[in-house]
Chain A
Amino acid sequence: MELTKNITLGVYLPGETSIHRLDPRTKIIAAAILITLLLFIKSYQPYGLFMLFTIAVIIASGIPISYALCGLKPMLPVLVLMWFFQLFLYSAPEAEVIVSWWIFSATDAGLHMGNLITLRVFFLFTIITILTLTTSIVSLTDGLESLLKPLRMIGIPSQELVMTMIIALRFVLILAEELDKIIKAQMARGVAFDRGNFIQKTRNLFPVFLPLFINAFKRAEELIVAMEARSYTGGKGRTKMKTLHMGRVDRSAGVVIMLFTGLIVYIILSVNPQI
C-alpha cells in the first residue's frame, strides 16, 4: 500500500527543459490566463485545441504523460460524481430529455454541461500540476510574492499570504505520508478499511484522522518554532539572494500564450457568435 504514489500536486520534478527555465512569474501568469480561458469555453472544439496544447507543454517539459495524469486518479470519483450531478440536475428550458428515471431526468443540456464542467476541472488540475511539477517551491514562492507585491500598498500582507499558501501546498505530501503510516499502524491492529457497511467504514476513520490531526498540529507548531528560530518575522525587510529575471525564453513563451489565446477566442467566437 502506498498512498503518496499518485500525488503530483505540490511535487517538483527537477529538469533542464525550457519550461523549467521559464521565470516563475511567466508560468504563473500563463497558468492564470489559461485557467481564465477555460471559464469561457462552452463548446468542444476549443477543448480539442486545449488538449493538444496541454499535451505539447507536457512533452516539452519532459514529464512522462502518464505521471502528469496519475494525480487525477484519486480525483476520479469526484469528477464522476460531478458529471452525474450536472447530468441529472441541470436543465435548460428547451432541453430534450434523453433518459428519465423516477423523479430524475437527464437532458441533453445536462449532458453537455456535465461534460464541460468535468473537462474544465480536468484541465484546471492538469495546468496546476504542470506548474508545480516544473517549478521548484522556492521559485514558486518568489514568483507569487513578486506578482502580489502591489497588494501591499492597499494593506494586504501578500508575502505572508504566499508563505501560507506554499506551506499548505507542501503539507499535502507530508500529510499524505503521515496518513500512510497511520493507516498501516491501524491495519496492523486489525482494522479492515475495505470491509463493513457505511457506518463501520465511517467509524474506521476515527483511528486514522485523530492521530493525523494531532500530528498535524504538532508539526505546525514545530514549524513555527523552527521559522522563528531562524528569525522569520514576515515579509518586512526581507531581501532576496536570487532576483528574478525574464529572458528570451519568457518572451517566446509570452508570444506562444498570446497566439494560443487569440486562436481559442477566435474559435469560441466562430462557434458561438452570440457571446
Chain B
Amino acid sequence: MPIEVTGLCHSYKKGTPFENKVLHEINLHIADGEFVGLIGPTQSGKTTLAQHFNALFIPQKGIVVVNGCNTSEKNADLISLRQQVGYVFQNPDYQLFASTVGEDISFGPKTQKLAAGEIENRVRAAMEQVGLDYDTFHRRDIFALSGGQKRRVAIAGVLACHPQILILDDITAGLDPRGREEILGVVRKLHREEKITIIFISNSMDEVAVLAERIILIDQGRISAVGSTREVFKQSDKLRTIGLELPEIMNIANKLRACGYHLPSALLDPEEALNAISSALEEGRVGN
C-alpha cells in the first residue's frame, strides 16, 4: 500500500494575518513494508506532513494518493482510509478516554461495526502485540497506568483497527529508558513479523539510526535529504546546520577517527560499531 505525494503545500491559518506556510512542494514516495524515519527539527512540518497520509489534512495544493485513494477527491472513502493508516499521537492522553484498557482498545473496532467476538479477538491480539497481558490488563483503570503502559494501550487501540500503515508520531518522548526500550521493541516486532509499513517520526537520532531503513529529512517544510539511513547520516554537516545531532554511536566513531583510528564511516548498529571499534583499537592508530 504505497504512499505517493506530489507537490504538496500546506499553510496554517490560511487567509489570516497569522498565516504560516509549513509545507512547500513536497514530493515523496513510500513503498509497502518500508520502515521510514521522518526526521527534522521541531516545527519543520513532520507532523503536518504525516497527517496528510491518513487524510486528517486534505491537501490545500498538491496530491496525496494512499493505496490508490486520492484524498482530495470528493467521494474518497476517508473513513476506511483512516482504518488502513493508523496514527499514534505523541500524547496518549489525547486518545484514551474509556474507563478500562479493554474498552478503549475496542473503540476502534466498534466504530467499524464488527461482531462482538471479533472485537474481543482483536483486542486480545492487539494487547498481545504490544506486550500487555489480556487477563491482567483488560479491566485495568486507564488513568492508573504508567506513561509507558498508556502509550502501549494507545498503540494497541490503533492496531486493533488492523492498519496496513502505522504512523508513530514521537511516541517515545518523555518516557524513561526502560519504557522507551519496551515501546521500540514493540515497533520492531510489528515491522518484522506483521510486515506493517512504519513511518516513524522522532527527535531521537539514536532511535531512528537503529530502526529505520530509509530516512526522509525535513527542514522548514522542505525535503532536505532522502535516502538510506546510512546515506543520510553520512551528511553530518547538513544535519548539524539544520540543528540535529548525529546518533551517539557516530559521534564516538568520529571522535576516534579524529584521534587517528581507522573506522568505517556511518556506523549505525551498536553491535556492528562495537566490532569495528574493538578491531580498530587492536589495530592501533593509523601510522603508528
Contact = CB atoms under 8 A, between A and B. Distances in A.
Interface in A64-92: 64, 66-67, 70
Interface string B189-221: 000000000000000000000000000000000
Nearest to A208: B97
A215 interface: yes
B107 A192 contact: no
Given A178-B94, A182-B94, A206-B97, A67 B158 contact: no
Nearest to A184: B56
Given A1-B57, A190-B161, A207-B107, A215 B12 contact: no
Interface in A171-199: 178, 181-182, 184-192, 195
A211 interface: yes
Given A184-B51, A215-B93, A189 B111 contact: yes
Given A187-B56, A190-B83, A190-B111, A2 B13 contact: yes
A26 interface: no
A97 to B, nearest CB: 43
Interface in B249-268: none
Contacts of B161: 189-190
Nearest to A4: B13
| Chain A interface size range | 20 to 34
Interface stretch (B14-22, B115-123, B177-185, B229-237): B14-22
Nearest to A5: B13
Interface stretch (B65-73, B84-92, B279-287): B84-92
A206 B94 CA distance: 12
Nearest to B56: A184
A185 B13 contact: no
Contact of A181 (B79, B94, B158): B94
27 contacts: A1-B56, A2-B12, A2-B13, A64-B16, A182-B94, A184-B51, A184-B56, A184-B87, A185-B87, A185-B94, A187-B82, A188-B86, A188-B89, A189-B82, A189-B95, A189-B158, A190-B79, A190-B108, A190-B111, A190-B112, A192-B79, A208-B97, A210-B97, A211-B95, A214-B93, A215-B93, A218-B93
